[in-house]
Chains A and B, each alone.
Chain A
Amino acid sequence: MATATQSSTSNASTVDGNSGLLSATVVAGLQNLGTTLSVAISKTLIANSLKLTLHPDAIIAPVPEIYATNAASAKQSEYAVVTLYAVATKHGWDSSTLRQQLEAHGVHASALDELTRVYEDNRKELVLRQLQLGHNFPHITDVQWRIVCDVKSSTSSHSSGAPHFIINLGQYRQSSGERVTIVEFTCNAEELQSLINRLKDIERHCNQVAIT
């Protein structure tokens, strides 16, 4: 994606300050849509590229026609569409800004309509997708717990007479839905209560911040 943000000098003719964000390779790829590649193929290609952006693990039904006649152009166009949406989302373009950009680069009218429509329909998903990218601390979304009480152990012949808790904090993988453990620890009732109090404290502060 880094290449997409490099400024390109070949588009000096365009008016907008955003113009330099799309490289010559990307612009050429966009210009292929609806021209070198037929309108129908362009449409499928845009849909597939979007799907790949939103769900990198998704299985996409192979469409051999896309690559049948002009494989190199098709590949370049796929790259161009993915880049276009990434850059547009990154800079928070609305669909009319996107349209202006595409018009300035002389993209074919049918491709222009399709690209704008798909962007408009999926803006929220694209933003959410891009929110997940980059560096984060492990993000906890789920907690599992169990209560255990010891009866005997190799070091003590007595039960301690109090249940304790095993708390497992984790998250679900966005793509597969698989659960991943981030941390597991034990605590007794007192410690759990103080943990709950601490978390409620955070929640209260969140509410305060939301109100102000």
Chain B
Amino acid sequence: MSALRLSQEERDHLTMLQRPASEVVELCKSAFDYLVNGPNLERYELLAKKCSGSVKSETVQQAVEALISLLIHVTTNTDANGEQVNIRQILPDLGDDVQEVLEQFVSSKRSFVEGSIKSANIRAYRLVNLDWRLEVRTASRCLLQQSNVVITMKLYLHTEPKNENRELLVVDTTERSERELSAMQEDERRHRKDLLVQTDVSSLVHLIKSLEDALAESKSRRIKNIVDAIH
């Protein structure tokens, strides 16, 4: 598992990295941007002009995509001890400073990529936040005099794998075009669900008790053994 193989095509695309570390940093930044916002052709063109030597915009794009692929490979291929694959082993022909940049690149987004990959296939809603309000209903059309304690809750659900990833992806909206912003909002709409629900005090107590049971069960020896066995 430790021997990570890159395809010849990927290797070809990564030859772009044989340049000063400062330019590789720019490429890595573009790759991060790709993770959040998808491809950005204008950015690649700009970057191609800035790079030393004559570089085509397509070459930059391929390099960025190869970086993403490298990031995914490195993240998913941990060896038996859970240790990360060494960049220096995969790409030995790169300069020391460039390898350092790449190591930082793959380790900084590791948890993000990991979280995304593991839950990418089946996207269930995840509870991100919960707001609540304690209310007493004092009257309704059918019953003018009542005092009924109601707990109203707003559940914020998101299909994005992990809450912490959302926070990693706090996006600077100041320099975005109108079209990009609306695309981002559309994405937000598609993956979010906010839900208003209510409950009463005795149901709440029952809820807490049941969830505590679940948590306690997950910490039991039996489940620990199973998890360890399949991990």
Q: Which residues of B contact A160 (CB under 8 A)?
A: 118
Does B143 lie within 8 Å of A155, measured CB to CB? no
Tell me, yes or no, whether B171 is within 8 Å of chain A by CB: no
Q: How far is the CB of A212 from chain B (nearest CB, A)?
A: 12
Q: Which residues of A contact B134 (CB under 8 A)?
A: 202, 205-206, 209
Q: Which residues of B contact A179 (CB under 8 A)?
A: none
Instruction: Count B-side interface residues using an 8 Å CB cutoff.
Output: 55
Contact with A along B28-52 (1 / 0, CB 8 A): 0000000000000000000000000
A167 to B201, CA, bound (A): 19
Residues of A132-165 at the interface with B, using a CB-CB cut-off of 8 Å, are 133-134, 136-143, 145, 147, 149-151, 153-163, 165
Please tell me which one of the listed residues A142, A150, A203 contacts residue B208 in the complex, with CB atoms under 8 A apart: A203
Tell me, yes or no, whether B140 is within 8 Å of chain A by CB: yes
Does A139 lie within 8 Å of B118, measured CB to CB? no
Q: Which residues of A contact B141 (CB under 8 A)?
A: 90, 133-134
Interface segment among A28-36, A76-84, A109-117, A185-193: the answer is A185-193
A162 to B231, CA, bound (A): 8
Q: Which residues of A contact B195 (CB under 8 A)?
A: 182-183
Does B197 lie within 8 Å of A192, measured CB to CB? no
Q: Which residues of B contact A153 (CB under 8 A)?
A: 118, 121-122
Q: Which of B142, B143, B163 has the most CB of A within 10 A?
A: B143
Given the contacts A131-B148, A183-B195, A191-B127, A145 and B227 also touching, CB distance less than 8 Å: no
10 A-B pairs with the lowest CB-CB distances in the bound complex, closest first: A161-B231, A145-B214, A137-B198, A133-B142, A140-B199, A130-B142, A185-B125, A141-B203, A186-B124, A92-B145
Does B210 lie within 8 Å of A154, measured CB to CB? no
Instruction: Count A-side interface residues using an 8 Å CB cutoff.
Output: 59
Residues of B140-185 at the interface with A, using a CB-CB cut-off of 8 Å, are 140-146, 148-149, 151-153, 155, 157, 163
A185 to B191, CA, bound (A): 13
Tell me, yes or no, whether B57 is within 8 Å of chain A by CB: no
When C-beta atoms are compared, the residue in chain B nearest to A205 turns out to be B134
Please tell me which one of the listed residues A90, A134, A158 contacts residue B78 in the complex, with CB atoms under 8 A apart: A158
Q: How far is the CB of B74 from chain A (nearest CB, A)?
A: 13
